[in-house]
Chains A and B, each alone.
Chain A
Amino acid sequence: MIRLNQCDPAFKYEVAATPGGEGITTCFACAACSARCLVGELKPEYDPRRIIRLTLLGRREEVLSSPLIWLCSTCYSCAEVCPQQVRFTDVLTAIKNLAARAGYAPPSTRATARLLARQGRLLEVGEFENQKRSDLGLPQVEGAPEDFQRILGITPQAEPEEEA
């Protein structure tokens, strides 16, 4: 039983105010997105329409803490087919951002930011990698970690956690 009086009507406005989330209120639950979603086909608990419905009803904690919202593969099939231009892929990105801010980001996502700050790219290109590249006649690659640190506001030393 869900009591609407205990839900948070401001949540949908919060999502709509986040870049990418503007389209969430126009959904009229036609299920075209659910029909297209490959993740939903393989994992029935994941349903774009349900996530939208819970958001519109105002179930803030339930949505932000749900592990399901991180399962979108960003294939954009839902966004292509939506008759009301909800752009669910972008809406879900907005919801994920809110969830991350609330502390619900999964470890893999948290590690990404740290890696980018440390080496300016996800996969390190060190001496070994560059040697392999020159063996094949390919130019060297460097990172620009300072740029990324400036953007992300993280410096590797300041980061308390050790990466997994």
Chain B
Amino acid sequence: MRGLLFLGCTVPVRNLNYELSARKVAAALGLELVDDTALGCCGFPLKSADQAAALVIAARALARAARQELPLVALCSACAGTLAEAAHILDHHPEQRRAVEERLQPLGLSYRPGVEVRHFLRFILEQVGTEGLAAAMKRSLEGFRFAPHYGCHFLKPSEVTGGFDDPEDPGSLARLIRLTGAQAVDYATLKDCCGGGVLGADEELAARMAARKLLELNQMGVTALAVACPFCNVMYEGQQKTIAKRLETKLKVPVVYVTQILGLAMGYSPEELGLKLNRVKPKDLIKACKE
């Protein structure tokens, strides 16, 4: 099982803990993640201003993956969503595809249909399956409670994700978490958008969007909020202090990546999974996994 790893813009610079934990989990599952260091951006940030150009940028990544005959495996939900949507558009709209082909040509690339785009977590669920994942677990995280955050591009638009998980009643991340023996809680703001998409345009609005979930989880008390996207991480972890100040309250919601939870259950140490880089750490979890 091999995949071309798509790191995107943020992960390799600001979320090394996500990258570390993902690579470790892949290794434990026997998945080879091939690197293409010149992949760059998926195009998502450019869509608002120039969707056609964003499509070419995405097509470039797809073409590079096609050249290696590998599925494209992304860590960031927005990247996975953008690349998958691009493939969907190019496969169904010949005029747009022609326009893209023209612009790819000077780069020495051409688009080939059939490139599979997957978010890393969906990739491991599909390639390894729950039995394979369960077999890889070495340490039980029983007693810990995680609140999964699916975010938006992991689940929607449903015609692009092909109904992999139900946007109205999602369960894939909860299933992954439960494989470790830990609890995955259900909560009112489960399906909230993190607000990352408007951070550039209106910081105050984005903060208020993220605040809803943080307030609920702060009240509920969980081991950590588990995210699957660096954007969501920026809002819930990076902006947590700012939000707390804005609301004139205290917030203490530890934030981890789902891959870090899986990694701990697979026997890796918190150090190996970059938990030192988490800004709001789940102290009890780290302590329990130190041995």
Chain A contact residues, CB within 8 Å of chain B: 19-20, 38-39, 42-43, 70-77, 79-80, 87, 89, 93-94, 96-97, 100, 105-106, 108-110, 112-113, 116, 120-125, 129, 132-133, 136, 138-144, 147-148, 150-152
Contacts and interface: CB of A to CB of B under 8 A. Distances in A.
Interface stretch (B43-51, B176-184, B238-246, B258-266): B43-51
Interface of B: 7, 9-10, 12-14, 16, 19-20, 23, 35, 37-38, 40-41, 45-53, 56-57, 60, 89, 93, 96, 103, 106-107, 152-153, 156-158, 167-168, 192-193, 195-198, 200-202, 205-206, 208-209, 274
A108 B152 CA distance: 22
22 contacts: A19-B89, A43-B205, A70-B48, A70-B201, A71-B205, A72-B198, A75-B152, A76-B156, A79-B156, A97-B52, A106-B201, A108-B200, A108-B201, A109-B48, A120-B38, A124-B13, A136-B274, A138-B12, A138-B16, A148-B41, A150-B107, A151-B53
Contacts of A113: 46, 49-50, 53
Contact of B12 (A75, A77, A133): A133
B201 A71 contact: yes
Contacts of B35: 139
A120 B41 contact: yes
A121 B41 contact: yes
Nearest to A110: B49
Contacts of A124: 13
A140 B16 contact: no
Contact of A147 (B12, B14, B60, B197): B60
A42 B49 contact: no
Given A138-B19, A140-B37, A75 B156 contact: yes
Contacts of A75: 152, 156, 193, 197
Contact of A77 (B46, B52, B56, B156): B156
B51 A142 contact: no
Contacts of B41: 116, 120-122, 148
Contact of A71 (B40, B57, B202): B202
A80 B168 CA distance: 9
Nearest to B59: A151
Contact of B7 (A71, A120, A141, A152): A141
B209 A38 contact: yes
A143 B48 contact: no
B198 A71 contact: yes
A87 B156 CA distance: 12
Contacts of B158: 80
Contacts of A133: 12, 16
Contacts of B13: 123-125, 129
Given A76-B152, A77-B156, A129-B13, A42 B47 contact: no
A19 B57 contact: no
Given A42-B205, A152-B53, A141 B193 contact: no
A150 B104 CA distance: 9
B193 A112 contact: no
B40 A121 contact: yes
A96 B40 contact: no
B152 A74 contact: yes
Contact of B209 (A42, A94, A136): A42
B105 to A, nearest CB: 10
